[in-house]
Amino acid sequence: MSKLYFKYGAMGSSKTAQALMCKFNYEQKGFKVFLFKPILDNRFVEGNKAMVWSRIGLKSDCLEFERKDDFFDLCKKYRILDEDNKDKNVIIVDECQFLSKTQVDQLKDISMQIPVLCYGLLTNYKTELFEGSKRLVEVAESLMEIKCICRCGRKATVNVLFRDGEIVTEGDEVVIGGDEKYESMCYNCYSKLIKEQKQEKK
C-alpha cells in the first residue's frame, strides 16, 4: 500500500543523499522515479538541467516545481498517474519544506495511488516550522528523523544561520544556502552562542 513519507533532519544530516539512494533503489527494482525539487533552490545546475546534489557528491537531474504549481497538473504533464504505468511510478520531493500546505495536501491524495517520499528540514533558522513541514507532520503516514550531530557531539536540531560571523534570528524565512551560511547545532550550543552574542553587544 502506498503512503506519504516525511523524512526530516537538520542541515548536513544526509537528507538529499538518502533521497538519491532511495531513488537508486527504486530504479534498481524497475520503478520510474519522478524526483522533484523547488525551483527557488537554484544552487545546482549542470548544463541546462536542474540538479539535486548532495554534499557527499551524489547527484541526479530532476524536475522543478513552484509554490503556485498544482501537483495534479504536474502528474498530468509527466503522465505520473496514467493507468497503464502508475503501478511502477514513485514521487520523491527534495527540500520539501518549501512545499505549500495545498501542495502537501495534493501529494497526500496522490500518495493514495503511488508512493510519495518527502525529504527536508523541519524548522527554519528561527526554530519555527516551515509551512510544508508542518503540514507533512500533520498528514504523513510515516515520519522519520534523520539525525546528525552538533560540534559538541550532541544531536543537532537547529539550523543556525550566520551572517558576518553573527547568528541571525530575524528576517525572511527563506534564505537559500549551504555550509557557507548554515551550521547545524544542538539547542544548548545555539542558546549559548546567542547569549554570548548579546553580551558582546552590551
Residue positions annotated with a catalytic role: 95
CA distance readout (Å), 126 to 130, 174, 185: 10, 10, 13
